[in-house]
Structure 1
Amino acid sequence: MKTDYKFSDLLGTVYHEGNLLFNPEGTHLFSPVGNRVTVFDLVNNKTFTLPFAHRKNIARLGLTPRGDRLLSIDDQGKAIFTDVARRITTHHISFNTKPTALSFSPNGKYFAVALGRRVEVWEVPPAMDTDDDDDMDIGAMKRHHRHMQHFDDVKEIEWSGDSKFFLTASKDLTARIWSVNSEENFVYTVLSGHKQGVVGAWFSDDQETIYTVSKDGAVFTWQYNEKWEIVGRHYFMQGSAYVQCAAYHADKNLLVAGYSNGVFALYEMPDFTQIHTLSISRNEIDCVTINKTGEWLAFGASKLGQLLVWEWQSESYILKQQGHLDSMNALVYSPDGKRIATTADDGKIKIWDVESGFCIFTFTDHTSGVTGCEWARKGNVLFTSSLDGSVRAWDLIRSRNFRTLTTPTRLSFSCLAVDPAGEVVAAGSLDSFDIHLWRVETGQLLDRLSGHEGPVSSLAFSPNGDSLVSGSWDKTARIWNIFSRTQTSEPLQLQSDVLDVSFRPDSQQVAISTLDGQLSFWDVAEATQVALIDGRRDISGGRSNTDRRTAANALGNKAFNTIAYSTDGHCLLAGGNSKYICLYSVLGSTLVKKFTVSVNLALAGTQEFLNSKNMTEAGPLDLVDDEASDAEGQKGFRLPGSRRGGDPGQRQNSTEVKVSGLSFSPSGTSFCAASTEGLLIYSVDTDVTFDPYDLDITITRKTVLATLREQRDFPKAMAMAFRLNQSDITKAVFLSIPHGDVKATVSQLPPTYMPRLIRFVAGQMESSPDFELCMMWLQAIANAHGPWLTANRRKASVQLRLGARAIGIIRDQVRKLVDGNRYTSEYLSMQVPEADEMGGVMPASVFQPGLDQLMDSDDLESQSESEWDGLD
């Protein structure tokens, strides 16, 4: 079995805190997720997580105007410059202070960062020279200048269109205008007049007007008349709610504001005409941004972990995602490996698509925390257990709860197991210490298995369906033969409370995890222990803020809360209240590899050593209540009676890193872990299809043409043209392939090129007259790569829709042409008497439209035949 698993993606969390960014094309959205950055491809409906990780949560993101490099800064002021295309880190720098604002200049030469009330302008280092790797230059970052004139934190930085000036909006009730370099007749200007902190300031498209928005909902319009003066005042009306964030689109004159009550409003400037208002969240909106075209608005709400993209013209959601509000309790792969089900204490069940990374289903029928989940063998039915006393069955085809299983008395179910046939469901109780069995088809309670003297913590059916194993806090595990007449149980005595049990895929062995950090392996037929692993030293690591022992000696609270066998049964994966996931060899009882869940220092348990400077007389500094002066800084953590605002019963707490669920994919090529950071996916093969042309750097226009003209290797020429990614070369190769070689060319192309080929053919159908040729290519693609398209329908769905749209456009054009010909024929037939009167000669005006159409078609045909002109 391969053991070189590496982190490949992060699901389960879509937004944590900080700002959101669109790429210049407006098709990708960058979202900070804890100490990582997740990118949402809004066109292809996919997500991916950049490989780097900060040591603290990310506070601010900045993207260059070209969209090729990303600057991320965490709460400690540590910054990472990343090449987005290559997904590699190019620069590290430390600002030593948490940033409050970050923005790149439109010309890409500078970026301005606000560090509290201090504003610094830095020169952007030159990018890597991708054309010549021998002369690769990674320049150093240099600070251009800095300013200290503000008296409070700067909340927003906005550049002018010519990159000569920038605006800063601060909580000190002012906005200020700065010059990047020395400008003639420029005077440093302070824009004052707001009664509360300014949350945003922007230049108009012509740079003749400035708009400022304050927290109390006041919008001021400034114009220059020997000095900057207020020429207009407008006010938002949202009752007691205040403005949390705002964004302005200079080209479209759109102003959008997000409020503390979860409502956003869209206005057209400078008349301040309200266009749209919508409530999208129950809590405040922390961030809002607009894409380049002004069509999509992106919102982030940190308290609920929501991320929304709204198209205001059609009033529809482009993206609507939300993670779990509380920690996840369980997860499991679907039998086909394409989906993952997760449950949490918030009472929600979420189904995540592995390929796209999006949540595709959310079920909220449970009224309390959901403790377990299992798939039926066919993969379209999911069973869940909950503390609300019910076990529910979900139909994922119709997206509904079709069966609810309960007991005569209300009980809290802590675990769940489903037999391989999907006909019997077992659930363990925390209250009665019994195991209840139901028949799924009728919903009837079949039996109640008694014998445990403590809460049942885990259940598992054997893969062959003959046995059921249960673990309990009474330091025993029992093997039940529930389908036999006697229904006997064989107790297995252990040294500590049982936390989790797991069957080996061959049903001959069961692994048991106990509270003392040990893993024991038992033979099911003989009911004897065959191996034992003491994992306390392996799982030890990470020190909480309140621990009085070092990480190596703090073994008392370390144990494996969840375990899972690999698909071949050779390895066992184990995780618990630690930052490590351990992979053991079952045959050798040895540790094979340890995976680090998170390096985020914002989570308790990730540090090996504590810093004494963070210790105070009141305890650890991270747990001391914040003494911020306003409601925004208090964040709801208050002692009773000390401050107004927020919940007086809340206390400052620190989230601890842990793993609550593990599951291997059916193919064994990946596994997922439900952790405090989210749903982590580790994989051994991140690239499904290998493309040999990725390794060739000699692909140029000249080599593509030589391959096509001289070698006449059409599949290779088409693949090289796609790799070169130049539209004129690709079109020339496409039109030069003979009709008889289309099927052979398509069949020899790697499947990884199919989405790109379909998109290109669809574009040719709309822009060229070669409709029959394009249909021949689409037919060849369907015949040669039909199974691949079926298996990867989500990856190719966008391209297939483009092809269907192109066919629909041609169909409409043909329909119009037929209708026009019919009407023309009727008109000509009515003109026959007129022709007889003229001696049988039709007037030239009757034939002129047809001649014009014929000339147009000849021009198109000649244009198609001359595609080679200028390519050399």
Structure 2
Amino acid sequence: MFATISVVVVFVIISNSPNTSSQDSTQWNLPDGAKARLGKGLINEIQFSPGGTRLAVASSMGIWIYGAYTGQELDLFKWHKGNVYSVAFSPNGNTIATGSDDRFILLRDTRTGTHIRTLNYHKDSVMKVVFSPDGKTIASGSKDNTLRLWIVKTGKHIHKLTGHTDDVVSVAFSPDGNIVASGSLDRTIRLWNTKTGKLIRTLTGHTNHVMSVSFSPDGNIVASGSMDGTIRLWNANTGTQLRTLNEDPIAGFSVSFSPDGKTLASGDTYGTIRIWNVKTGKLIRTVTGHTSYIHKVVFSPDGKTLASGSMDGTIRICFANTGTHLNTFKGHTFFVDSVAFSPDGNTIASGNGDGTIRLWNTKTRTHIRTLSGNMLFVNSVVFSPDGKTLASGSLNRSHAIRLWNTKTGEQIHTLTGHTDYVRSISFSPDGNTLASGSDDVTIRLWNAKTGDHFRTLTGHTKDVTSVSFSPDGNTLASGSRDDTIRLWNANTGIHIRTLTGHTKHVLSVSFSPDGKTLASGSVDHTIRLWNTNTGTHIRTFTGHTSYSHSVSFSPNGKTLASGGRKEIRLWNVKNGEHILTLTGHNAAVSEVSFSPDGKTIASGSHDGTILLW
């Protein structure tokens, strides 16, 4: 009877939502001025509804609701103004709680979707929220190093639990609700009395961050997963360590007991789920399929299935007893650090923090393919002028640049020679040359057809963060963490002049379509315009309250777009006036780009999404 009621309750909030009638989730809950959203953001946590029919996903852009077995997108809730780290259903399914980097805990009625109350005593991001077994209390863990206990019915703050010396990232109630366990980046687990708020004991032994804690259903065991590569089982009554599970020394991001308490599931940094026998500590089976680290593993309420969420952008559902794969929910994305339109405007390429490049169809707003190949954090992507080749730079250990066939997704060339991370790449207008800027303080020029290196430009004294060719191909501009911009003769490699005026690192440089003006964005929160013929400073745009990560001219040269902290600003190039601010991202805007026809702006963000405006 209880399970039936829970199913109905969670169904009500979904069926009453205007999003459920829409077949295209790229249109759901868009900010003002946006036309579409590509990507669903980073998976932070997943939770089954009490009836087991729905799966809630806390992500960097909101809370997604899925059919737990069908994978159907049912809704997207944009309740917070930041990254949502945690989501929890009350035991009766009537309330959903969420915690975010906006420091708030929000309670919503699942039957109506209405806001119940906001809990807001934390001083930093809320990393975890969890209901007590009777549903009367909420415990929350935060980056402010504290836990807090709250009365659900009134929102009253009961206790502030202090003692951890670093972020509290995991919290779990004992089955009787009398104890709450907390896991912290300070490498410890602490057990607290929920009635008094007093510390009972501290469990020590982990040698790196504790990422996850969980009570066994009988309350006698606490399991902990750590970045030290071990999973540890502890006697909850005495604090004694029972055993260490470490078949392989691989960091455990998440641990979860089965409802019968006989098995423990763990997810690791390499995308593997391991199922353990709690009584013997023996590994029962290994479940593979993910390609990157697993944020969360959780059993369904009936214990028959296991859900896992990974940095690879997928949620996988499998049978708990056999590990057999049931379904994969796709579309979630890690940090977007670079975006570029193809010359015909039909494709967008995005460079992502998970080491992949994704190609998107701008007309259908669908994912075309993913390019991958031993890369870490792809921070620069650019199409060749004919659109047939895509170049990418990333923070990989080989410091290589890769060239890809855009039609087939095959890798064409790997360009090596830089001795540190590649931060920026740019094709010459004729497509024959590729320029790259690196943390090795150099700019390298490459033959884009053969991949051969033919010239190195030196002069900057710190990392080269941005490179850009002028429209005629005769000049190359470079921005650096030495706070300067340098102009170079692209044909000879001779230094033309240095532009000074920024007071902090220059992060982005871009030529106007006529080549007469150069725009630069900086850590000093300003954008500057420069005369490229004389090097004279024309004007400064102010208004960003954080780094200006990216600048881009419209094709007609009349408008400049700049990306900053959660916002895109549009400026009148001629008079310097601020035209409009576009908001809607939940994290820093890493890059902005105009479509070739000037009708669309694409913005990539560390919230894992691309917005089309």
TM range (shorter): 0.5 to 0.7
Report matched runs for 1:374-773 at 5 Å.
Answer: 374-376=382-384, 381-385=389-393, 388=398, 390-396=400-406, 398-406=408-416, 414-419=423-428, 422-428=431-437, 436-440=445-449, 442-444=450-452, 448=455, 458-461=466-469, 466-472=472-478, 475-478=485-488, 491=496, 494-496=499-501, 500-504=508-512, 507=514, 510-513=517-520, 517-520=526-529, 522=531, 527=533, 532-535=538-541, 537-539=542-544, 541=545, 560-567=548-555, 569-575=557-563, 581-595=568-582, 659-665=589-595, 671-675=601-605, 677-684=606-613
1:59/1:289 Cα in 2 relative to 1: closer, same or farther (>3 Å)?
A: same
Distance 1:217 1:87 in 2: 39
Distance 1:86 1:461 in 2: 55
Aligned counterpart in structure 1 of residue 349 of structure 2, from 322, 330, 340: 340
1:462/1:201 Cα in 2 relative to 1: closer, same or farther (>3 Å)?
A: same
Q: Which amino acid aligns with 1:590?
A: E
Q: Deviations over 1:653-711 (max 9, x none)?
A: xxxx8554222345656544445x43454444xxxxxxxxxxxxxxxxxxxxxxxxxxx
1:157 and 2:173 aligned = yes
How many angstroms does 1:30 deviate by? Answer: 0.9
1:589/1:75 Cα in 2 relative to 1: closer, same or farther (>3 Å)?
A: closer
How many angstroms does 1:59 deviate by? Answer: 5.5
Contact 2:216–2:261 (8 Å) recurs in 1: no
**3-state DSSP of counterpart to 2:543:** helix
Contact 1:518–1:532 (8 Å) recurs in 2: no
Distance 2:161 2:521 in 1: 60
Report matched runs for 1:205-224 at 5 Å.
Answer: 212-215=221-224
Distance 1:276 1:65 in 2: 30
**Counterpart in the other structure of 2:88:** 62
Q: Deviations over 1:531-567 (max 9, x none)?
A: 93312x322x36xxxxxxxxxxxxxxx6x44211235
**3-state DSSP of counterpart to 1:678:** coil
Distance 1:529 1:292 in 2: 66
**What is the total number of aligned residue pairs between the two structures?**
525
1:53 and 2:69 aligned = no
Q: Deviations over 1:417-440 (max 9, x none)?
A: 224665543435676856524142
Q: Which amino acid aligns with 1:92?
A: T
Contact 2:425–2:436 (8 Å) recurs in 1: yes
Q: Deviations over 1:21-59 (max 9, x none)?
A: 1345645441243x854556774676986323257x656
**Counterpart in the other structure of 1:79:** 105
Q: Deviations over 1:774-818 (max 9, x none)?
A: xxxxxxxxxxxxxxxxxxxxxxxxxxxxxxxxxxxxxxxxxxxxx
Aligned counterpart in structure 2 of residue 290 of structure 1, from 284, 299, 319: 299
How many angstroms does 1:113 deviate by? Answer: 1.1
**Counterpart in the other structure of 1:122:** 152
Contact 2:340–2:593 (8 Å) recurs in 1: yes
1:112 and 2:122 aligned = no
Distance 2:440 2:269 in 1: 40
**Counterpart in the other structure of 2:286:** 277
Q: Deviations over 1:109-157 (max 9, x none)?
A: x45312578755533xxxxxxxxxxxxxxxxx466x9799999999423
Distance 1:275 1:672 in 2: 47
1:92 and 2:97 aligned = no
How many angstroms does 1:311 deviate by? Answer: 1.4
**3-state DSSP of counterpart to 1:258:** strand
Q: Deviations over 1:398-432 (max 9, x none)?
A: 4442212356x978755322246655434356768
**3-state DSSP of counterpart to 2:425:** strand
- Structure 2 length-normalised TM: 0.63
Contact 1:415–1:457 (8 Å) recurs in 2: yes
**3-state DSSP of counterpart to 2:79:** coil
1:239/1:39 Cα in 2 relative to 1: closer, same or farther (>3 Å)?
A: same
How many angstroms does 1:175 deviate by? Answer: 10
Report matched runs for 1:794-813 at 5 Å.
Answer: none
Contact 2:180–2:192 (8 Å) recurs in 1: yes
Q: Which amino acid aligns with 1:350?
A: I
Q: Which amino acid aligns with 2:577?
A: T
Distance 1:370 1:679 in 2: 13
Distance 2:162 2:439 in 1: 58
How many angstroms does 1:342 deviate by? Answer: 1.2
1:568/1:75 Cα in 2 relative to 1: closer, same or farther (>3 Å)?
A: closer
Distance 1:598 1:47 in 2: 21
Q: Which amino acid aligns with 2:42?
A: V
Distance 1:414 1:117 in 2: 39
Distance 1:490 1:246 in 2: 56
Q: Deviations over 1:592-623 (max 9, x none)?
A: 12356878xxxxxxxxxxxxxxxxxxxxxxxx
- Structure 1 length-normalised TM: 0.47
Contact 2:351–2:378 (8 Å) recurs in 1: no
Report matched runs for 1:290-329 at 5 Å.
Answer: 290-291=299-300, 294=303, 296-299=305-308, 308-312=315-319, 313=322, 315-316=324-325, 318-319=328-329
How many angstroms does 1:71 deviate by? Answer: 1.6
Report matched runs for 1:157-176 at 5 Å.
Answer: 157=173, 168=179, 170=181
Contact 1:15–1:305 (8 Å) recurs in 2: no
- The CA RMSD over aligned residues, in Å, is 5.8
Distance 1:669 1:491 in 2: 35
| Identity across matched positions, percent | 15
Contact 2:173–2:181 (8 Å) recurs in 1: no
**Counterpart in the other structure of 1:693:** none
How many angstroms does 1:85 deviate by? Answer: 9.7
Contact 2:553–2:560 (8 Å) recurs in 1: yes
How many angstroms does 1:590 deviate by? Answer: 1.0
How many angstroms does 1:351 deviate by? Answer: 1.6
Which one scores higher on RCO, CA 8 angstroms, separation ≥ 6? Answer: 2
Unpaired segments ≥5 residues, structure 1: 124-140, 160-164, 179-191, 204-208, 223-233, 543-557, 600-656, 685-872
Contact 1:218–1:235 (8 Å) recurs in 2: yes
Contact 1:48–1:357 (8 Å) recurs in 2: no
Q: Which amino acid aligns with 1:31?
A: A
Distance 1:12 1:362 in 2: 18
Which is worse superposed, 422-431 or 41-50? 41-50
Distance 2:129 2:521 in 1: 48
Q: Which amino acid aligns with 1:404?
A: T
Distance 1:451 1:237 in 2: 52
Aligned counterpart in structure 2 of residue 103 of structure 1, from 102, 108, 131: 131
Contact 2:469–2:477 (8 Å) recurs in 1: no
**Counterpart in the other structure of 1:185:** none
1:318/1:176 Cα in 2 relative to 1: closer, same or farther (>3 Å)?
A: farther
1:439/1:237 Cα in 2 relative to 1: closer, same or farther (>3 Å)?
A: closer
Distance 1:45 1:376 in 2: 37
Distance 1:561 1:142 in 2: 40
Contact 2:423–2:466 (8 Å) recurs in 1: yes
Q: Deviations over 1:40-87 (max 9, x none)?
A: 6774676986323257x6564223578786321347973213467997
- Structure having the larger proportion of residues in helix: 1
1:147/1:352 Cα in 2 relative to 1: closer, same or farther (>3 Å)?
A: same
1:333/1:678 Cα in 2 relative to 1: closer, same or farther (>3 Å)?
A: farther
Q: Deviations over 1:607-656 (max 9, x none)?
A: xxxxxxxxxxxxxxxxxxxxxxxxxxxxxxxxxxxxxxxxxxxxxxxxxx
Distance 2:441 2:234 in 1: 62
Q: Which amino acid aligns with 1:678?
A: D
Distance 1:592 1:565 in 2: 14
1:26/1:468 Cα in 2 relative to 1: closer, same or farther (>3 Å)?
A: farther
**3-state DSSP of counterpart to 2:43:** coil
1:31 and 2:58 aligned = yes
- Structure having the larger proportion of residues in strand: 2
Distance 1:84 1:660 in 2: 35
Q: Deviations over 1:447-469 (max 9, x none)?
A: 54869777865444566xx4354
How many angstroms does 1:323 deviate by? Answer: 6.1
